[in-house]
Amino acid sequence: MSDTAPPKGRKTAAFRPRKPAKPAAEVSAASPVAAPVPAPVPSAPPAAAAPAQTTPAQVTLDQVTSVQMPPAPVAAEPVVPRVIRPAPSGPRPLQVLAVASEVFPLIKTGGLADVVGGLPPALAHHGVEVRTLVPGYPSVLRALEGTTVVAEYGYFFGAFCKLLAGRAAGLDLFVLEAPQLFWREGNPYSAPDGQPWPDNPVRFAALAHMGYLISRGDFGPYVPDVLHVHDWQAALAPAYLHYGGRTKPRSVLTIHNLAFQGQFSRDLLYAIGLPGHAYSMDGVEYYGGIGYLKAGIRFADRVTTVSPRYAAEICQPGAGMGLDGTLRQKGLALSGIVNGIDVDTWNPADDPALAASYTADTLELRARNKAALEGRFNLEAGDGPLIGMITRLSWQKGMDIVIETLPSIIAAGCRVVVLGTGDAPLEAGLAKAAAAYPGKIGVFAGYDENLAHLVQGGADAILVPSRFEPCGLTQLYGLRYGCLPIVSRVGGLFDTVIDANAAAREQGVATGIQFEPVTREALEAAIARFVALYADTSAWRAMQRQAMSLDLSWTRRAGAYAALFRSLVEVDSA
């Protein structure tokens, strides 16, 4: 079953919007963001709200723009989030409300979920308590425990919904349960045919607006000190704060990938609860439409992205993808913080997915994982260098250059395994290469978590030749497992891998190989360096041990977020 599909036996309401209504006048500045009118709190949605169908009707743009925002929310009995409290003698923990469209391990399409799920437990070590607001996908609702209904709405962005509070996977959650918006086949953003849901702008405006309502203290005693929103799906929340006349809580936007910006028709302005004067170059206007990510950048007090190098890159034309000017205006309010990883899940010393667990002191045991990997991919057995890739097959990830370079890589004496799926032409090109080099190239078209662990535990190097990479997690897993990264010199790859040049090797800090630009010639040169280093067993082992000694944990990385959050609160209290 899809994580976003309706549970068996549960039906969702068809979207029946009202006819488009032209606003009589622009919403006043005093109360520009209208909140929904709650229905009397029933024990279940009215029967009429659930006709016999398993997914909501596809919504056209005309239908989406007709969603109206009635006025003022009423909470059910106030709910204080269930969080682990410090000893009474300790300082008051900083309260942070995170808002995101996915969270690991409940719902995941990419690295965003890993960050949203990994950061809260790590921040707890730094005196920060996080409550995370996520959509009520069925996979989230199935996992939720200790559930309390905070509020119910008969009409919230065109849907009946509840705000729930509870706990799942060790995380304290708010959940926006709106079956009409979030119970669907496919993934959180797209239908099974791969096309984006046409009402995505309304679905995620609803999520951001609920984050705004919580952060302004609408639901009892819980009022966060900081609102932390992730990517375009939550980025309207700081705009709602601004146009709602709120200066608190302070807000932080984290950009995980600037390529996904949430750009939609200007006709949605009133439908998503923004006033007419918000549509300006200094507001949410973006190339003739509404830019959700642009709005977040414009109105968040601080903007972070997931590596310092990427933060610098996106301020430049080209890499800034149309937002470089807005980002440059943030000045010192823009920074980069490298992602961490779950070092318990990704632990070569205790990994059930491996044929043999190992440490930096028992690297010889990796040979058993290499043999297991060769078997899984039907490769010729041998001691020669084995390169792994765990990737989305896309232009961004440099897969076209990899396919072009594969003959040279094989000629250099390497074998290659690829775990991933993506663009059809690249999948076809990779399959053709594998057929041309049986026993040398192995491909698994899809994703398998256990196999990903085996690739990291059995391959000698992990290849990440991205054209741009905000942070990247694959190379971090590689460092953790002594599977040394071969990476392009961009974004988080540059920030996390130290190139094995002569100076770095002499100082004992080298952890991989960097190259630029992303071309066949540069990649061939990087592979040649890899083969030479691999042949020097002593040097290679030293690099592996150095890589495995790094502290890549979220606990370490979270300190930078905690310091950022505190700096915002201290400004208010100064």
Binding-site residues for ADP-alpha-D-glucose, please?
108
Cα(341)–Cα(348) distance, rounded to whole angstroms? 13
Give me 407's structure tokens. Answer: 């003959």
Q: 61 exposed, middle or buried (CB, 10 Å; 0-12, 13-18, 19+)?
A: middle
Please answer whether residues 533 and 513 qualify as being in contact, where contact means their C-beta atoms are separated by less than 8 angstroms: yes
Angle of helix 537-548 relative to helix 474-481, nearest 10 degrees?
110
Cα(96)–Cα(84) distance, rounded to whole angstroms? 14
Cα(202)–Cα(181) distance, rounded to whole angstroms? 9
DSSP reduced 3-state for 419:
strand
Strand order in the sheet with 263-264: 263-264, 289-291, 285-286
Cα–Cα distance list, 165 to 2, 132, 150, 249, 436 (Å): 23, 10, 7, 20, 55
Which residue type is seen at 77? E
CB burial readout 65-97, b (16+ within 10 A) else e: bbbbbeeebbbbeebebeeeeeeeeeeebbbbb
Cα Rg of the chain, angstroms: 25
**How open is the CA angle 104-106-107, to the nearest 5 degrees?**
80
CA 280 to chain centre: 29
**How crowded is residue 284: how many other Cβ atoms within 10 Å of its Cβ?**
27
Strand order in the sheet with 145-156: 145-156, 159-168, 171-177, 128-135, 94-99, 226-230, 250-255, 302-305, 334-336
Alpha helices for 383-485 (secondary structure H): 399-411, 424-436, 449-458, 474-481
CA 15 to chain centre: 28
DSSP reduced 3-state for 300:
coil
Binding site: which residues? 108
Length of the chain, please?
574
